[in-house]
Structure 1
């Protein structure tokens, strides 16, 4: 086993936020499940990662009950399920140790948010010597307000601001930079999952 699929933060926490309605990929779980089926068919390791922010009282605080995989996902017993408290999936988990034990040198990554946890995991993975593939259409993001915008704006106000970056722009830019700067190959679900996509 030399390859793994890392599914990052596809968790219920995000659907508890109003900004979820601005996502570029409301059908993300279908895309992730297609990749998971293809990975299993190829004998690859599938690793699931969740993000937690204990003690914050928000949607990522485990005490509020949202830090779990979206129920549509096809997680199976025996597949590692890690919980991180950092942006990338390596720093606060035993992911690197797990991959080393399994002889994994090639990673495919997908999940939420494209430009945050998925991108950062991709960059760290590259630094650690893994051959990285960023699965662009199995990621998701949300509209992002300009840094100078007031923090208390509603989602509608954020969307009305011409300085706001739309989710599809963010995802496309992230993939462009990762590929252009040599951090990862960029691929689609169809390219990796082949005929399994949508089955």
Structure 2
């Protein structure tokens, strides 16, 4: 399983200070995120945290909220900072993964349809095999410009619809774990871009 890595995307205090934040799904998400991290630790799959940084507001360094949420287990792996929606380009993460011959990414974190989905799409285009663990992602209700409201559950369903069999395999934590014996022996295509120097944020 050394060719795999778990991405924990934007699970940071910043979201707790956004006007759209809704804690309704938080306990269920937290349980699944921790379950996924623990499962990957048992398989010695590298766990990589990504934090989103902006110039102002709760996602700025000055806010003091660009730090992992307290429920996450202690993290001793690499941490990358990003300033765009995908976690791979411009953060040094893609280069880091390529240098370590990691070709399979497990996607989790916040928000489902935004940075998690965008990372899955970009990762697929870069040649990675993607497992998108929807239950280990979190998002919030949104309102369309036409006034129609979409629940967090509806948004997650839409993300699964557009990613499945095109950009990613959609799976639960249990399904992911059950697939690991076959995954460990499956050949994987190399990513499509060449290696450059990585930049890791501590």
Same fold (TM over 0.5): yes
1:32-47 mapped onto 2 (5 Å cutoff): 32-47=33-48
Cα distance in 1 between the residues matched to 2:97 and 2:24: 31
Q: What is aligned with 1:14?
A: 15
Structure 2 residue matching 1:19: 3-state secondary structure: coil
| Cα distance change on mapping 1:23 and 1:86 into 2, 3 Å | farther
Cα distance in 2 between the residues matched to 1:66 and 1:59: 6
Q: What is aligned with 1:110?
A: 108
Offset at 1:22? 6.1
Q: What is aligned with 2:73?
A: 74
Cα distance in 2 between the residues matched to 1:76 and 1:176: 32
Cα distance in 2 between the residues matched to 1:121 and 1:75: 24
- RMSD (Å) for aligned C-alpha atoms: 1.6
Cα distance in 1 between the residues matched to 2:84 and 2:139: 18
Structure 2 residue matching 1:83: 3-state secondary structure: strand
Name structure 1 gaps, 5 residues minimum.
149-160, 195-199
Q: What is aligned with 2:163?
A: 178
Q: What is aligned with 1:187?
A: 171
Cα distance in 1 between the residues matched to 2:84 and 2:74: 22
Q: What is aligned with 2:32?
A: 31
| Cα distance change on mapping 1:193 and 1:74 into 2, 3 Å | farther
Q: What is aligned with 1:85?
A: 83
List structure 1 runs of 4+ shifted beyond 6 angstroms.
Answer: none
Structure 1 residue matching 2:150: 3-state secondary structure: coil
Size of the alignment, in residue pairs? 177
Name structure 2 gaps, 5 residues minimum.
179-202
Q: What is aligned with 1:59?
A: 58
Once the two structures are superposed, residues 15-47 of structure 1 have per-residue CA deviations (whole angstroms, 9 ceiling, x without a partner) of 112322265444322211111111111121110
Once the two structures are superposed, residues 128-183 of structure 1 have per-residue CA deviations (whole angstroms, 9 ceiling, x without a partner) of 000001001011111112225xxxxxxxxxxxx6x111111001110111005x10
1:136 matched to 2:134? The reply is yes
